Chain A
């Protein structure tokens, strides 16, 4: 036996050595591993038939999507392909990860048990926690990316969303949640510091901060694009602020804790605001609310600052309740509607733009740009921030991490699929007219018709009437160049929903309903993102100036909030005023930032797994990590080095600089010298951001690889896990309890109240 092998064997023994003694007076706190194994391995005929059926239906759906080439494809196949693949991934792949890599042990107490304080650390029913976790991870991201990626046809996006989540996105969420749980609910940043040392940890912290700024900025840009020149939208979205303030006061002073009640009241008020918006649009007030994008951007910046410094109870918490209520409600509604309406989709499986790099919606070749355009829904690094911290402190049992971590992300992926279906169900000509930048369409109906028909797309024959009649039926002045994804999704959703409820006269209501909930999700993310970023910044500055560590010190809070708002606000203004069309240039940066964060999270997980000496199964994390790293680094290099101006920021920068030097007064879509100077400035900032991101991510990945190699050489290393504490409670692992679990639950039920264990107080 070599030195290394022996050390490895020692390590394994040490792991086995944490077998915990159970209190003999209590019923079992875990299902016996052998029973568990037998339950998994016992394949009854019914079970075999069920899984064979799921596999066949999934296979048939994929065949209908990928191979059968009819004129149209029915949306129901997307639903079946997704759900069957998720079920198989959940049942087989996540179980493999559980059995071989993570090895959760229900005899160990979770932080919610050994650190219980009844508040932050509080064991929560697994199904309820699934809802909490889902509400925290899902937002506007999965609703926007798939819409933009629809320009490449439906198949590339569908494959990436479904396969990506099974092999990468859900794996990341699951691993991060598990490792954070084993570390008392530590945050991703703290884990990076523990695992990667000072350099890797600091790079991860800075990267997280910068990435949060860019993500907030681009989400805000989506809202600005949805509300610009739309008095109806501006009115109804603005009304969410007084509604939230009312809800805040109601919860604080009138009926504390009645969260659902106040959310229903808020929801009714919200519907009233949407309906009232339709009346307001035609009045003088409507003219006053027809705002330029820049005005709306400043409004959001000022709002963002105020919301982040106001007490949580007044604005942020009630908005969050309203947003959760809408999230659960609208997603169920959309799923039901798609299943009942089953729209026919006439978009080609793989469009002309899949093999070109000049797509008008997002420029660049399919690889890597498909994979950064769709981030949320397939692989979202931002989730690592949620999966570490809040949720792990509420887990009842270790084995529940699979259901909540892996399963929660599958649900978000399903939301992305539904958004994709909604975007695909609208006419392709209209899709391109809405999503091409104003620089290309001129912002006019005639310009859009000429531009879209000039693209030479199969089956596209756009007429001016199609655009103007759609605009009037959704109650908007114009739908040309309403980039950002949200208006397109709103049209798709209105098309599906009005055929179910309300008929053509309800089109405008449904359109504005969709705009409203997207704006609500995004503004909630903007508030929370600014606040979290401010705390991170205060903590970082606190290392130099200790006074900043005191979070209740008002000047510190105000200064750090102002810095963060200035950070995302300046990028937002840059996007809004960009002569090249903000979303088209900036959205790839959003995806790259999000995926780089995913690469960072996966790299940290890899270092942890290496320390555990589980090299045989390292590929489970190494494969998605390698993929995310290759995609984001390639995409960044395209953005930095590509000589094609529509793809490369720097190429654009040089082209415009050259044009200015040549004394030109208009160049491309920039019609004035000021606009040209703005492009030169913007592309410089975009290039710099790309360089910063990719450098930080490479540093983190390299330090993680070095830590992994060190662990390999030494045969593992002591883990940074909290010491094991014996559990004194039981709960099932999955959504439904298995027979063995039911038996144990019955034993606990039978236990007299007096004999049940007292919880250890943490204070």
Chain B
């Protein structure tokens, strides 16, 4: 593996990590779960998933600290 490829992979890994920390991993976790659980309900589209996630937060607030 050449150095350039290693650097590119490292940057890509960091970008993905940063996006996950920002919360973008939510939909991927949901689709993974859906595939593995054999859940019979239809898979939500990305748009529907995020809409549903926000609406669930309306009824279930998460704390933020001082």
Q: How many residues on B have C-beta within 8 angstroms of the other chain's C-beta atoms? A: 40
Is residue A386 contacting chain B, with contact meaning CB distance below 8 A? yes
Contact of B51 among A120, A252, A760 (CB under 8 A): A252
A101-155 with Cβ < 8 A to chain B? 116-120, 122-125, 127-128, 131-132, 135-141
B9-39 with Cβ < 8 A to chain A? 17-27, 29-34, 36-39
Is residue B63 contacting chain A, with contact meaning CB distance below 8 A? yes
- Let me know if A390 and B63 touch, CB within 8 A: yes
> Can you name the residue of chain A whose Cβ is closest to the Cβ of B64?
A528
Is residue A338 contacting chain B, with contact meaning CB distance below 8 A? no
Interface size class of A (residues with CB under 8 A): 35 or more
- Let me know if A141 and B65 touch, CB within 8 A: yes
Question: Which of B31, B56, B63, B66 gathers the greatest number of chain A CB atoms within 10 Å?
Answer: B66
- Let me know if B58 and A259 touch, CB within 8 A: no
Assuming the A-B contacts A128-B17, A139-B65, A525-B65, are A256 and B29 also in contact, with contact meaning beta carbons closer than 8 angstroms in the complex? no
Tell me which residues across on chain A come within 8 A of B32, comparing CB atoms: 118
Q: Mark B31-66, 1 if CB is under 8 A from A, else 0.
A: 111101111000000110111011111111111111
Contact of A385 among B33, B51, B63 (CB under 8 A): B63
- Let me know if A325 and B38 touch, CB within 8 A: no
Tell me which residues across on chain A come within 8 A of B38, comparing CB atoms: 758, 761
Is residue A317 contacting chain B, with contact meaning CB distance below 8 A? yes
Contact of A123 among B17, B29, B37, B61 (CB under 8 A): B29
Tell me which residues across on chain B come within 8 A of A638, comparing CB atoms: none
Contact of A120 among B34, B60, B64 (CB under 8 A): B60
Is residue A215 contacting chain B, with contact meaning CB distance below 8 A? yes
Q: Which of A376-384, A457-465, A661-669 contacts B (4 or more CB under 8 A)?
A: A376-384
Tell me which residues across on chain B come within 8 A of A116, comparing CB atoms: 33, 37
Q: Could you tell me the distance in whole angstroms from the C-beta of A147 to the nearest C-beta in chain B?
A: 14
Assuming the A-B contacts A124-B29, A252-B54, A382-B65, are A552 and B59 also in contact, with contact meaning beta carbons closer than 8 angstroms in the complex? yes
Q: Could you tell me the distance in whole angstroms from the C-beta of B32 to the nearest C-beta in chain A?
A: 8
Assuming the A-B contacts A257-B27, A311-B54, A759-B33, are A263 and B22 also in contact, with contact meaning beta carbons closer than 8 angstroms in the complex? yes
Is residue A320 contacting chain B, with contact meaning CB distance below 8 A? yes
In the complex, what distance in Å separates the CA atom of A682 from the CA atom of B37? 58
Assuming the A-B contacts A380-B66, A761-B37, are A260 and B24 also in contact, with contact meaning beta carbons closer than 8 angstroms in the complex? yes
Q: Mark A382-408, 1 if CB is under 8 A from B, else 0.
A: 110110011000000000000000000
Q: Could you tell me the distance in whole angstroms from the C-beta of B19 to the nearest C-beta in chain A?
A: 5
Is residue A348 contacting chain B, with contact meaning CB distance below 8 A? no
Q: Mark A515-543, 1 if CB is under 8 A from B, else 0.
A: 00000001011011101100100000000
- Let me know if A128 and B25 touch, CB within 8 A: yes
Is residue A432 contacting chain B, with contact meaning CB distance below 8 A? no
The 21 sampled A-B contact pairs (Cβ below 8 Å) are A116-B37, A117-B33, A118-B30, A119-B56, A120-B56, A125-B25, A127-B17, A131-B21, A136-B62, A256-B51, A257-B26, A263-B22, A312-B55, A312-B57, A385-B65, A525-B66, A528-B61, A528-B63, A532-B61, A551-B59, A757-B36
